[in-house]
Amino acid sequence: MNRVTQKLLFSFFFLLVGLSFGVQISQLIENFLFAEAGIYGNESLIALFNYFSLGIVGFVMAVVTGGGVIYLARKKQQEIGFGEHGELYYEVFKESLTAQFLVCENGSFYAVSQGLSTRVDLSESDLIAGGMSKLVDEESFAQFQTWQNNGEDFEQLTLYLRAQSIASNTLIVSLNHTHLKGVFLGQLIDVAEQTHRQKQHELLAITLSSVGDGVICTDTDGNISFMNPVAEAVLALLTREVEGKPFNEVMPLIHEESKEPIDDPMHSAMTEMQTVSLSQLASFRNHLGLEFAVEVSCSPIFIKPEEIAGAVLVFQDVTESRLMRKKMAHLAHHDALSGLPNRLLLQDRLIQACKRAKRHAHQFAVIFLDLNKFKLINDTFGHDFGDELLKHVAKKLTSTIRACDTVSRIGGDEFVLLIDAMEDRRHVRHVIDKIFSAATGEYEVRSNKVNVSFSAGIALYPNDGDNADTLMKCADMAMYRAKKVGHSNYQFYCTTLDKEAEYCLERENKLVKAVEHREFVPYFQPVVNAHSHQVEKLEVLARWQNADEVIAAEQFINVAEEAGVGNQLSMQVFEQAIAIFATLVANHGSLQLCLNLSVKHLLDGDFEAQLLNLLDMHELNPAQFELEIAERPLLERADDLKVRLDTLSRLGFKLSIDDFGLGQTNPALLKELHFDSIKIDPSFVSEIYETGHEDDLALVMINIAKSLGVNCIAEGVESTLQAHTLASHGCNQLQGHLFSVPVSASDVTHILKRGLDK
């Protein structure tokens, strides 16, 4: 039955009630009026009166009674909340998918939504008929009634259903007082969704508090509404202290280098409706005066696609990392020891100098400077002393040149000067003379005084090259020429140096091919007893059999080392020499073979095994071999070589120091290294001209050998006087052209036989 039918029935009912009341009232009037007037006998008049009064009174009563009831019903309907459009509102309320209801104080439901029916799995009619008292258990209904009397205007209750057919019989209901007394609005709350949202909020709060970056939120007016703990720590302010204050007032951003203000990124993000990142070097100073370098990203907070609630700024404190980057950038372009520009920065400045010189048509010079005998200074006083000396030299060089020029240290004891915008070569000579005058001489470092001199090479733009690489190469070549010419010297680059370099490269290539073709052969020079002159040892010397020419080792051994084939060349010679020695030792059992080793041999991990394999192949033992190491490289790498030398000594090899006297040997070090022999360099032997000079260095070295308890061998013996003098002062063995020049394998057999015939 719809609402219109209900209204028609109510109107008809009220009309009947009104007529009934009208009959009763008209009867009362009739009795009163006609009885008083005494005219009861006139029946027609009475009937007419009855009909008239019945109609008038019945109509009035019907109108009053029906209108009053309809008025009260409409008023009640309006109070409940549906108003004059109640039908529409009622239908909308019922169709709502939200689980809600209107309940009276007695527990009856006035209206329920479709969402509630679905939630409790009951129809609308069942809910209306039963009310809340039939829906929930007694304790829950009592809780509802208690809330009516004592509860707040809004409260959340936990109610339990009577039936348990659904997954959960628990309802969380929010109840609200309405403006009509005794009518309440209720709504079911999804506990799972509420819990999920609550967890999300808690997780968001924990995340913002735990994140390592600072987070600041503002409203649409740019006033701060939230800061996480990191932001509070950096700003040294709490959220409650800055809440509602403009962002620019609390955290004014400035450019790190220029100190100019940076536009508010919050305003930019909200205006542009997109994320804004600051590309410039941003920083700010907090109210305590502490300055922080920051990286900033700012985004608008969207409610809807085109509506924002404010902005969020995320910043990272990069003060330490930015300082580290600056330091690393400085170290990448400057020498860590002296603070001077390094090779990388020098290369860049050279490129720029070439561009300027080309544009303005002027010249500039590149000067390579090398400290003479710096390695000796390092070895004598230690590396710390050498480093300190380099710092002093760097200061002297820097103070000598103009501010527009550059002093660079490119490694070791090598410095490069860029003399910009010079007039001509005379200007360069003036500059280099000034440098030599100021930087050459005596330096006092750690209470020690040393004399420093330089060798310099000079290349000019554009005569010697028009690019950085060519100029560096030319200046380097000129510097090496200066070192060959003599100390404290400088040389300008010339094309002759290119020819020399080409010659060296060509010789290296020939040498590498000669190793591949096994063109190197052993020669032997006898070492004789100082008194009997009997041959006791044979020293192996490498020779290059180049076509019909035999080239001595002095002419190619350094080139071979620079070309990287020194070890390979030596092993080829050793293989042949040991095979020949195996045939000789069959007739001369006490004979020993001397092999010259370089530091590279000793540091090569495979050398020891290769040498032992050769000895095993020819059934020889280490005691038949003496290994010679030059004194100067030995002292330079003594710490690195000690273990290897000890190993060779334990295997049975005899060890000898070659070129003794050239390296300022420390006798204590020699004793520690356990050498068996020392070989006096020929330069000291050549100074023996006559007898009676007890202070000759060769004789002093013989005494050193005696004090160390080692065998003494003199090289370069050219005369009988030298041989006699050395022997008389205790030298054990002699070697030199007086006895034999280095000879081939075929000739060494004759020498051995001749010695036996004596």
Which whole number is the average pLDDT over 670-681?
A: 83
| pLDDT tier for residue 360 given thresholds of 50, 70 and 90 | confident
Write the CB contacts of 527 (distance below 8 Å, at least 6 apart in sequence): 535, 536, 537, 538, 539, 594, 713, 733, 734, 735
CB crowding 349-375: b at 16 or more within 10 Å, else e? bbeebbeebeeeeebbbbbbbbbbebe
Q: Is the pLDDT of residue 597 over 60?
A: yes
| pLDDT tier for residue 756 given thresholds of 50, 70 and 90 | very low
Q: Which of 577, 726, 712, 699 is nearest to 658 (CA)?
A: 712
Q: Is the pLDDT of residue 663 over 70?
A: no
Report whether 301 contacts 270 (CB < 8 A): no
Q: What is the pLDDT of residues 101-122, one digit of tens each?
A: 888 888 888 788 888 888 888 8
| pLDDT tier for residue 522 given thresholds of 50, 70 and 90 | very high
| pLDDT tier for residue 495 given thresholds of 50, 70 and 90 | low
- The residue ranges of DSSP E strands in 427-496, in sequence order, are 441-445, 448-452, 454-461, 489-492
Distance CA 469, CA 347 (A): 8
Look at 412-416, 558-562, 726-730 and tell me which has the smallest mean pLDDT. Answer: 558-562
CATH fold match for the domains 84-189 and 343-493: no
pLDDT score at 30 = 59
Residue 259 to residues 51, 208, 214, 281, 642, Cα–Cα distance (Å) = 107, 30, 22, 10, 60
Q: Residue 300 — left, alpha, or beta (φ > 0 → left; ψ -120 to 50 → alpha)?
A: beta
pLDDT score at 337 = 87
pLDDT score at 524 = 93
Identify the burial level of 734 via C-beta atoms within 10 angstroms of its C-beta, where 0-12 means exposed, 13-18 middle and 19 or more buried: buried
Token pair of 711, please? Answer: 């065998």
Look at 62-66, 185-189, 230-234, 654-658 and tell me which has the smallest mean pLDDT. Answer: 62-66
Question: 343-493: what CATH class?
Answer: alpha beta
| pLDDT tier for residue 151 given thresholds of 50, 70 and 90 | low
Q: Which of 529, 524, 518 is nearest to 713 (CA)?
A: 529
Distance CA 313, CA 300 (A): 9
The CATH superfamily label for domain 84-189 reads PAS domain (3.30.450.20)
Which whole number is the average pLDDT over 242-268?
A: 87
pLDDT score at 423 = 73
Distance CA 183, CA 177 (A): 7
Question: What are the φ and ψ backbone dihedral angles of 159, each rounded to 5 degrees?
Answer: -115, 155
Q: How far is CA 239 from the centre of its chain?
A: 34
| pLDDT tier for residue 289 given thresholds of 50, 70 and 90 | confident
Write the CB contacts of 436 (distance below 8 Å, at least 6 apart in sequence): 454, 456, 488, 490
pLDDT score at 68 = 61
| pLDDT tier for residue 318 given thresholds of 50, 70 and 90 | confident
pLDDT score at 626 = 94
Which whole number is the average pLDDT over 707-719?
A: 91
pLDDT score at 79 = 47
Token pair of 52, please? Answer: 């008239």
Q: Tell me which DSSP letter residue 602 carries.
A: H
pLDDT score at 668 = 67
Distance CA 107, CA 134 (A): 9
Residue 561 to residues 452, 545, 566, Cα–Cα distance (Å) = 29, 18, 5
Identify the burial level of 607 via C-beta atoms within 10 angstroms of its C-beta, where 0-12 means exposed, 13-18 middle and 19 or more buried: buried
CATH for the 511-757 domain, from 3.20.20.450, 3.40.50.150, 1.10.1040.50, 3.50.50.60 = 3.20.20.450
> What's the one-letter identity of residue 439?
A
Instruction: Among 129-143, 203-217, 495-509, 731-745, name the most confident range.
Output: 731-745
pLDDT score at 40 = 47
Distance CA 361, CA 716 (A): 59
Which whole number is the average pLDDT over 337-363?
A: 90
Q: What is the pLDDT of residues 551-572, one digit of tens each?
A: 888 888 877 877 778 888 888 9
Residue 497 to residues 474, 489, 500, Cα–Cα distance (Å) = 8, 16, 5
pLDDT score at 76 = 52
**Residue in the block written with tokens 């300082």:** 323
Q: What is the pLDDT of residues 72-89, one digit of tens each?
A: 555 554 444 555 555 677
Q: Is the pLDDT of residue 38 over 90?
A: no
Which whole number is the average pLDDT over 446-454?
A: 87
Residue 19 to residues 73, 193, 733, Cα–Cα distance (Å) = 21, 60, 164
Identify the burial level of 632 via C-beta atoms within 10 angstroms of its C-beta, where 0-12 means exposed, 13-18 middle and 19 or more buried: middle
Domains in the chain: boundaries? 3-80, 84-189, 196-323, 343-493, 511-757
Work out the percent of the chain whose per-residue pLDDT is above 70. 80
Q: Tell me which DSSP letter residue 487 carries.
A: S
| pLDDT tier for residue 264 given thresholds of 50, 70 and 90 | confident
Which whole number is the average pLDDT over 351-375?
A: 89
**Residue in the block written with tokens 């200074």:** 377
> What's the one-letter identity of residue 673?
L
Local structure of 678: helix, strand or coil: strand
Q: Is the pLDDT of residue 757 over 60?
A: no
Element (H, E) at 412: none
For residue 455, list its beta bridge partners.
Answer: 370, 489
Q: What is the pLDDT of residues 208-237, one digit of tens each?
A: 777 778 898 999 888 998 888 888 888 888
| pLDDT tier for residue 539 given thresholds of 50, 70 and 90 | very high
Report whether 497 contacts 481 (CB < 8 A): yes
Q: Which CATH architecture has domain 196-323?
A: 2-Layer Sandwich (3.30)
pLDDT score at 753 = 76
| pLDDT tier for residue 1 given thresholds of 50, 70 and 90 | low
Look at 19-28, 281-290, 565-574, 637-646 and tell me which has the smallest mean pLDDT. Answer: 19-28
Q: Which of 83, 81, 111 is nearest to 96 (CA)?
A: 111
User: Distance between terminal CA atoms of the chain?
Assistant: 154
* C-alpha radius of gyration, the chain, whole number: 57
| pLDDT tier for residue 283 given thresholds of 50, 70 and 90 | confident
Local structure of 451: helix, strand or coil: strand
How many residues belong to the chain?
Answer: 758
Secondary structure in 3-state letters for 147-168: HHHHCCCEEEEEEEECCCCCCC
Which whole number is the average pLDDT over 721-737?
A: 92
Q: Longest Cα pair distance anywhere in the chain, in angstroms? A: 204
pLDDT score at 85 = 55
Q: Tell me which DSSP letter residue 382 carries.
A: -
Q: Is the pLDDT of residue 691 over 60?
A: no
Distance CA 497, CA 368 (A): 15
Q: Which of 637, 559, 577, 572 is nearest to 602 (CA)?
A: 637
Q: Tell me which DSSP letter residue 106 carries.
A: T
pLDDT score at 758 = 41
Cis peptide bond N-terminal to 462, omega within 30: yes
What integer best gives the mean pLDDT of the chain? 81
pLDDT score at 655 = 92
Token pair of 282, please? Answer: 């941003």
Token pair of 682, please? Answer: 């020929």
pLDDT score at 467 = 92
